[in-house]
Amino acid sequence: MRDNKRVVITGMGVICATGGSVEEFLVSLKEGRQGIREITLFDCSGYSSQVAAQIEGYDPLDFFDRRELRRLSRVDQFVLIAAREAFADAGLKNTIDHGERSGVCLGAGAGGMLSAETYHHQLLEGKRPRPSFLLPFVPSYATDRLAERYRLQGPRTTVTTACSSSATSIAYGAELIRWGEADVMACGGGEALSELTFGGFCSLQVMDSFPCRPFDAQRKGLSLGEGAAVLILEEKEKARRKGAAIYGELLGYALGGEAFHITAPEETGREEARIMSEALQDAGVTPGEIDYVNAHGTGTILNDQVETLAIKEVWGEDAHEIPVSSTKSMIGHCLGAAGGLEAVASLLAMRHHFIPPTAGFERGDEICDLDYVPQAREDETAIVLSNSFAFGGNCTTLIFGKGDL
Amino acid sequence: MGAVVITGVGVISPVGTGKDDFWKGLIGGRDGVGEITAFETAPFRSKKGALVKGFHPKAFIPPLKIRRLDRASQFAIAAARMALEDAGLSLGEGVAPERTGIVIGSGFCGVVNSEAFHRGQVLRGPGDLNPILFPNTVPNAAASHASIELGIKGPNSTVVQSFCTAEAAFCFACRQLMAHKADAIITGGVDELSAILYRGWNELRMTAHDRGEGERSAPYDLQRNGFIPGEGAGIMVIERQEDALRRKARIYAQILGYAQTGGAAQPGKRVAHAISGALQRGGVKTVDFIDGAGNSSPRLDAVEVEGLRLAFANRYRDIPVSSIKSMIGEGIASGGMRIAADLLIMEHGMIPPTINYEYPDPLCGLRVVREGLKAPVRTILHTGISLDGTYMAILLGRTDGIS
């Protein structure tokens, strides 16, 4: 049953620091525009960094009315904005016609933390905060809001593996379609900046006080970001029959655990290499067939080193031939939305024949000596591998192909 | 769906730790609910919770590591160890670490650390933050610590889906197994009840409170007025049937089918669709027992009954139903402990009671089991209901004659 079905992406929607639509996001990727600036969302003057890829000039009232906003935290808003674009892009106004054949699987990071922080802050000040601040705190809240808006009556699941959440949501959404549990799945995820997450990464001393510089010798850590990406997954034959415009196909994936440390990656890169190899095998492609590696590339000293070692282990001598870039250099590390945004970047690279850059990359070091693509370049990209690695050693690798579309 | 079987179980619950003690508690109608003393409940309308008592992490985790782990992670490690041992599986011998997965349903694990970390930020400012806390604020900390402690390197994920959190994880795990992404997967649910979470449930007016009948978890009872927040872990080992048979494992049950539906409108109908879907996939028209999701909240229990009525027509009055949430309370991942109970019910041929069922709700009209009941149970329908719009039905069956 599973083997007969393949899964394609027929719609995408995005909001992040460098773009409020897929079109804007595409332009920013080609230009290598960096969206990392001073944070205005909350006071972070006492922290080791004051920058992040915050979505600026955003007025929720442009998208929602006041009554709706009482029930929607910042991340839920982002998810719904991305979903609107994705459903329209896929030619699905709402999916009531599909009923129980359409579902949703999203990844979540801190979820409604920003809203819960407001509650908790007021509580600690001895005030009586509004209980509805707590509603969005369950990480499946955005999933339910999306399902409600598009009347999805099929399966619902929320993945909460921190930085790999939304990559995994795409993998699981595809499984549900391949097993015939749904014909349409909305996947991806959202993230809103929050003080807890910001302070948390500062406390671990992995935050760059400048905009992050993945793979660069001068890199000092990551920059956080926020946003959402929603991708519409459909069964390939059904999508073809109705003449849907297809961005690409999920050729394969692997989910794995490093079983090593709660924050640090296994330092030889052996485990990450294993998971990339499993994904390649699942997709039925050889390392040589990969045209572009969309790296996890957070900008921390350890991550970029280990990921590079892992790439070298998988590609061997050819590692220097393959373009590797981190779009986090532009949109920051969007945690629960990261894998989804990177999937969109990967699919755009294939459709528009280019390699997104690692913005700000100047020179590598002894270990980080691959082709990190400092400027976007035109190139035929038919197969892309995208990595998402998370706290707890949760690793997800997705492989997308343009295929015979 | 006939390919997946359950071969191991590990439980930490408010009525007992370990499957034997858990079972004794359930069948004896042991009430796991009590006045909370672990934290201050004075500001709240509710005072009771279903907390895990007498859990000794030292039996499962090296002493130096214990204090660095929150309760949720301790529960996850301990229950996963028990389940693996029960399944007779040893990583690196019976099954390769890379071929062993872990998929845990965990709603609010990490919240206790989030609260502590954020309290530090608010009260002490950015200069004095505890770096140990932050990595443990993520919901996947429990599954990740378990994977590190047990050396599990296969598919690793954490799932949350409101009150169907453990069921959603279970389905995720089944698909990974059927897709041959692993040969054995540890799956189930973990909940930790913390002061901040208790506050949240109270603030949202979802909990049981005393209106003259006492503060009780009373599923399907006319006087029910909310759920009792609970905690614990119910973890299973699942394998493909052919692998389990090959290694001559003891098979508790086969997953005959499951179905999930969504939508907040007409929830009874959606529940019925999930149930019919699971029955159809399992090729059965009725079951020997219904493991109800009823958690003592007025609306949820009524929705479940409507779903059962629509799915089974009049037959629903004849099928014994029980909700162990009367004893273990409600976490949002208590489905893990319930699946563990399902396996033991089939093994022992006995159905545990729904305690506190005193005044039958005429609208319910269910055959609720009030006293432990001896009955051969070959098939169980396990329901999962979240009024946010997620409904699950899992059909489990004994496999005697196969193994």
* Model confidence pLDDT, tens digit, residues A159-185: 999 999 999 999 999 999 999 999 999
CA distance A218 to chain B (A): 24
Report, as residue numbers or ranges, the catalytic residues of A.
Answer: 163, 296, 333
Tell me if chain A has a CB within 8 Å of the CB of B363.
no
Per-residue pLDDT band at B402 (split at 50, 70, 90): very low
Instruction: Give the pLDDT confidence score for residue B363 in this predicted structure.
Output: 77
SS3 track for B330-380: ECCCCHHHHHHHHHHHHHHCEECCCCCCCCECCCCCCEECCCCEECCCCEE
Q: What is the mean pLDDT of residues A58-76?
A: 96
Nearest chain A residue to B160 by CA distance is A158
Q: Under an 8 A CB cutoff, do B148 and A261 touch?
A: yes
Tell me if chain A has a CB within 8 Å of the CB of B257.
no
Closest CA to B223 of B213, B209, B235: B213
What is the C-alpha separation between A7 and B53, in angstroms, rounded? 47
Q: Under an 8 A CB cutoff, do B175 and A256 touch?
A: no
Residue B92, helix vs strand vs coil: coil
Closest CA to B183 of B92, B122, B270, B65: B92
DSSP A72-114: --HHHHHHHHHHHHHHHHTT-S--TTTGGGEEEEEEESSTTHH
Task: Assess if CATH 3.90.75.20 describes domain B4-246.
Answer: no
Evaluate whether B4-246 and B255-397 have a shared fold: yes
Helix (H) or strand (E) holding A68: helix A66-69
Residue B174, helix vs strand vs coil: helix
Residue contacts between A and B (CB atoms, under 8 Å): 217
CA distance A3 to chain B (A): 9
Contact present, A334 and A16 (Cβ < 8 Å): yes
Q: Under an 8 A CB cutoff, do B144 and A262 touch?
A: yes
Instruction: Give the pLDDT confidence score for residue B403 in this predicted structure.
Output: 40
Nearest chain B residue to A258 by CA distance is B153
Tell me if chain A has a CB within 8 Å of the CB of B185.
no
**Domains of chain B: which residue ranges?**
4-246, 255-397
Instruction: Give the pLDDT confidence score for residue B314 in this predicted structure.
Output: 86
Record the tokens describing residue B107, joined without a space. 């709603």
Instruction: Give the pLDDT confidence score for residue B365 in this predicted structure.
Output: 85
Closest CA to B283 of B4, B1, B40: B1
DSSP B202-244: HHTT-B---SSS-S---TTBTT--SBPBB-EEEEEEEEEHHHH
Nearest chain B residue to A161 by CA distance is B140
Instruction: Give the pLDDT confidence score for residue A130 in this predicted structure.
Output: 92
Residues 121..160 of B with a Cβ closer than 8 Å to A: which?
121-123, 125-127, 129-131, 133-141, 143-145, 147-148, 150-160
H-type alpha helices, B103-262: 111-124, 141-150, 165-178, 195-203, 241-246
Instruction: Give the pLDDT confidence score for residue A404 in this predicted structure.
Output: 66
Tell me if chain A has a CB within 8 Å of the CB of B209.
no
Contact present, A369 and A215 (Cβ < 8 Å): no
Residue A116, helix vs strand vs coil: helix
Q: Under an 8 A CB cutoff, do B161 and A261 touch?
A: no
CA distance A138 to chain B (A): 7
Nearest chain B residue to A194 by CA distance is B118
Task: Assess if CATH 3.40.50.300 describes domain B255-397.
Answer: no
Closest CA to B253 of B73, B395, B40: B395
Residues of chain B neighbouring A47 (CB-CB closer than 8 A):
126
Closest CA to B118 of A263, A137, A163, A194: A194
pTM check: above 0.80: yes
Q: How high does pLDDT run on average in chain A?
A: 95
Q: Under an 8 A CB cutoff, do B260 and A204 touch?
A: no
Q: Give per-residue pLDDT as tens, A208-241.
A: 999 999 999 999 999 999 999 999 999 999 999 9
Q: Under an 8 A CB cutoff, do A138 and B107 touch?
A: yes
Q: Are strands A383-390 and A292-294 parallel, antiparallel or unpaired?
A: parallel
b/e per residue B369-378 (b: at least 16 CB within 10 A)? beeebeeebb
Residues of chain A neighbouring B102 (CB-CB closer than 8 A):
257
How many other CB atoms are found less than 10 A from the CB of residue A59? 7
Q: What is the mean pLDDT of residues A89-115?
A: 85
Residues of chain A neighbouring B114 (CB-CB closer than 8 A):
113, 116, 196
Contact present, B122 and A124 (Cβ < 8 Å): yes
Secondary structure of chain A: what % helix, strand, coil (to 5)? 40, 20, 40
Instruction: Give the pLDDT confidence score for residue A96 in this predicted structure.
Output: 58
DSSP 8-class letter at A21? S
Q: Under an 8 A CB cutoff, do A392 and B156 touch?
A: yes
Confirm whether the ipTM is greater than 0.95.
yes
Q: Give per-residue pLDDT as tens, B139-172.
A: 999 999 999 999 999 999 999 999 999 999 999 9
Nearest chain A residue to B170 by CA distance is A157
Residues 67..126 of A with a Cβ closer than 8 Å to B: which?
100, 103-104, 108, 113, 116-117, 120-121, 124
Per-residue pLDDT band at B1 (split at 50, 70, 90): very low
Strand partners, A295: none
Q: What is the mean pLDDT of residues A186-208?
A: 96
Q: Under an 8 A CB cutoff, do B141 and A157 touch?
A: no
Residues 18..77 of A with a Cβ closer than 8 Å to B: which?
44, 46-47
Tell me if chain A has a CB within 8 Å of the CB of B117.
yes
Position B152, amino acid: I
Position B195, amino acid: A
Per-residue pLDDT band at B378 (split at 50, 70, 90): very high
Across the interface, which of B106, B137, B159 has its CB nearest the CB of A196? B137
Looking up tokens 């706290």 gives A391
Q: Under an 8 A CB cutoff, do B144 and A113 touch?
A: no
Residues of chain B neighbouring A203 (CB-CB closer than 8 A):
117, 129-131, 133-134
pLDDT for residue B398 is more than 70: yes
Contact present, A106 and A159 (Cβ < 8 Å): yes
Q: Under an 8 A CB cutoff, do A144 and B388 touch?
A: yes
CA distance B297 to chain A (A): 18
Q: Under an 8 A CB cutoff, do B155 and A195 touch?
A: no
Looking up tokens 């029930």 gives A71
Closest CA to A168 of A325, A293, A335: A335
Q: Under an 8 A CB cutoff, do B261 and A153 touch?
A: yes
Q: How high does pLDDT run on average in chain B?
A: 95
Contact present, B83 and B17 (Cβ < 8 Å): no
Per-residue pLDDT band at B283 (split at 50, 70, 90): very high
Per-residue pLDDT band at A257 (split at 50, 70, 90): very high
Sign of CA dihedral A121, A123, A126, A128: positive
pLDDT for residue B27 is more than 60: yes
What is the C-alpha separation between B248 and B243, in angstroms, rounded? 8
Closest CA to A377 of A358, A351, A356: A356
Number of continuous H segments (helices) and E segments (strands) in chain B: 12, 16
Tell me if chain B has a CB within 8 Å of the CB of A130.
no
- Burial of residue A66, with CB atoms counted within 10 A of its CB: 0-12 exposed, 13-18 middle, 19 or more buried: exposed
Instruction: Give the pLDDT confidence score for residue A405 in this predicted structure.
Output: 55
Number of continuous H segments (helices) and E segments (strands) in chain A: 12, 14
Q: Give per-residue pLDDT as tens, B173-230.
A: 999 999 999 999 999 999 999 999 999 999 999 999 999 989 999 999 999 999 999 9
Contacts of B397 (CB under 8 A, 6+ apart): B253, B254, B256, B282, B284, B378, B379, B380
Q: Give per-residue pLDDT as tens, A40-57.
A: 999 999 999 999 999 999
The domains of chain A, with CATH numbers, are 2-241 (3.40.47.10), 253-401 (3.40.47.10)
DSSP 8-class letter at A256? E
